[in-house]
Amino acid sequence: MDDKNGDDKSKTVYSEININGRNGDDGAYAQVTSGAQSTYNQCPAISLDGSIWPMKDTRRRKDETEREKAERLVKLSGAVKTMLECIGEDPDRKGLQKTPDCYAEAFLFFTKGYEDDLHEIVNGAVFNENHEELVITKDIEIFSLCEHHLVPFSGRMHIGYIPNQRVIGLSKLARIAEMFSRRLQVQERLTKQVATALSEVLQPKGVAVVIESSHLCMVMRGVQKTSATTITSCMQGCMRSTAKDREEFLNLLNRK
């Protein structure tokens, strides 16, 4: 991508990956716009199989058998029981007897995005369409966990893209948002992962993602600012390089 403003700090990188997760001549190209020294380049948002970074335990969870799932639940339940003991509680008292199992099941649900695969979620719902104007899906509710304190943050995600002869089923945008939000996250990375996933699948002219959220790690503890909202954005392709496209997206977000 030529940078008309002469800014060489931002580069466009394409990795040859098709939507079935295999390298190939007809593959989609993941467009990543990021600073050359960013740690994001060292830890890409999406691995070749469409999961999060290729961590051993992540893939093990995704592929485990029913027996292994049960063993994982027992292990996690035991850890919760230990946690209750460490804060001075009695995990054997009536009100807490079922808590370790309940919390273990809930925590696995909160992080179920580790079991999802981008290519399975899209499931071929990419269509050739002669549409080259902005497409926006606003106000997608997201719920995630801060990876530093393991407390929730929640809010809304707005996704926009300018197609390049290909569009995606609208529900898939929400499913991609859900996949990445249901993991231990920081909001900045979550924003970029969703944008990069859409670039990989669609090869659009541009992608924009904005997240507005409230973090309980700022509300329940620390500075305890109950009204604070965090906004992050990721612009790729023409949404980053062309002010007109970027402004159209941001203006439409603010329309009531």
Q: Which of 255, 136, 101 is CA-nearest to residue 207?
A: 136
Instruction: With cut-offs at 50, 70 and 90, classify the pLDDT of residue 47.
Output: low
Instruction: With cut-offs at 50, 70 and 90, classify the pLDDT of residue 61.
Output: confident
Could you tell me the domains of the chain?
A: 58-114 (1.10.286.10), 126-253 (3.30.1130.10)
Q: How far apart are CA 195 and CA 177, in angstroms?
A: 10
Instruction: With cut-offs at 50, 70 and 90, classify the pLDDT of residue 162.
Output: very high
pLDDT digits (tens, 9 = 90+) for 121-148: 999 999 999 999 999 999 999 999 999 9
DSSP state of 19: T
DSSP state of 51: S
Instruction: With cut-offs at 50, 70 and 90, classify the pLDDT of residue 18.
Output: very low
Using a cut of 0.75, tell me whether the model's pTM lies above it.
yes
